[in-house]
């Protein structure tokens, strides 16, 4: 879970579609933190990239971009009225 209490409290006020990309070998932002963040942001989606560390957009840019574009496309086609 995020280290700072204020950050934890503020997650619940985020109401825009949010993509959380985590890497399976990331030591700074591990899967437990990603799960906590995902559970506490309404309309969030988590994707775990394999075989990369803290910079998946550098290590696997094509795969990263595909998931970001898919997420954006879905969000645009399915807007929320909340």
- Whether residue 5 is contained in a domain is answered as no
Instruction: Assess whether pLDDT exceeds 60 at residue 1.
Output: no
- Whether residue 9 is contained in a domain is answered as no
Instruction: Assess whether pLDDT exceeds 70 at residue 72.
Output: yes
Which pLDDT does position 7 carry in this prediction?
Answer: 79
- Whether residue 7 is contained in a domain is answered as no
Beta bridge partners of 46: 20
- Whether residue 10 is contained in a domain is answered as no
CA distance 24 to 15: 26
Q: Domain span at residue 30?
A: 15-77
- Whether residue 37 is contained in a domain is answered as yes
- Whether residue 21 is contained in a domain is answered as yes
Which pLDDT does position 58 carry in this prediction?
Answer: 96
- Long-range contacts, 58-63 (Cβ 8 Å, 24+): 59/23
- Whether residue 70 is contained in a domain is answered as yes
- The predicted-structure confidence for 8-54, as pLDDT tens digits, reads as follows 889 999 989 999 999 999 988 889 989 999 999 998 999 999 999 99
The number of folded domains in the chain is: 1
Which pLDDT does position 79 carry in this prediction?
Answer: 58
């Amino acid at each position: 879970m995020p280290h700072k209490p204020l950050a934890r409290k503020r997650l619940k006020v985020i109401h825009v579609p949010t993509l959380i990309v985590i890497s399976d070998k990331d030591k700074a932002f591990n899967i437990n933190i990603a799960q906590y963040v995902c559970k506490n942001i309404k309309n969030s989606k988590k994707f775990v990239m394999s075989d990369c560390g803290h910079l998946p957009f550098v290590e696997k840019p094509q795969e990263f971009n595909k998931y970001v574009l898919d997420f954006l496309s879905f969000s645009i086609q399915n807007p929320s009225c909340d």
